[in-house]
Structure 1
Amino acid sequence: MSLIITDECINCDVCEPECPNEAIYPGELIYEIEPAKCTECVGHFDEPQCQVVCPVDCIPLDPNHKETEEELMEKYLTLTGQL
């Protein structure tokens, strides 16, 4: 699954620079995640870095974008030009 930022986001700016896929961007009110770019850091790190640094714990899995570990790895390979 990709991740999603909930409306509990306080716009602290710490998640955006941590995303290796540049999937996080400033939305109209809060930061948002582009599901097509989010790999939950699969291929880069052992855990999603945005979740690690988020001070308010507002980045859960997005139930509308379910993906397996294999699908996330394939997305990573595509995004990094290895596929």
Structure 2
Amino acid sequence: MYTVRFRATQRDLRTDRIMKAVAKVENIGFAVVISFNTEQEPTLEYLNKMAKEIENLPPVNCKYFSNVRPITGMRKIVGGN
């Protein structure tokens, strides 16, 4: 089993509107790491496809992800559940 990780910015639609109108600032958010496990070793093509899919997820409670990039150097989990 492999752990796949992505670095992203978690943004909020409400904050985006306020910051853009008041301070003319964009891309405000929290740096986050998104991770999940997969059975097979993922290819670079798969990682890039997943990054785009994460960015295209619809906002939930006004929160969404941008600037999603795969973190290279996947970890293989040995003997896990």
Same fold (TM over 0.5): no
Higher helix share: 2
Please report the TM-score for the alignment, with normalisation by the length of structure 1: 0.31
Please report the TM-score for the alignment, with normalisation by the length of structure 2: 0.31
Higher strand share: 2
Please say which structure displays the higher CA radius of gyration.
2
Which structure has more relative contact order (CA 8 Å, sep 6+)? It is 2
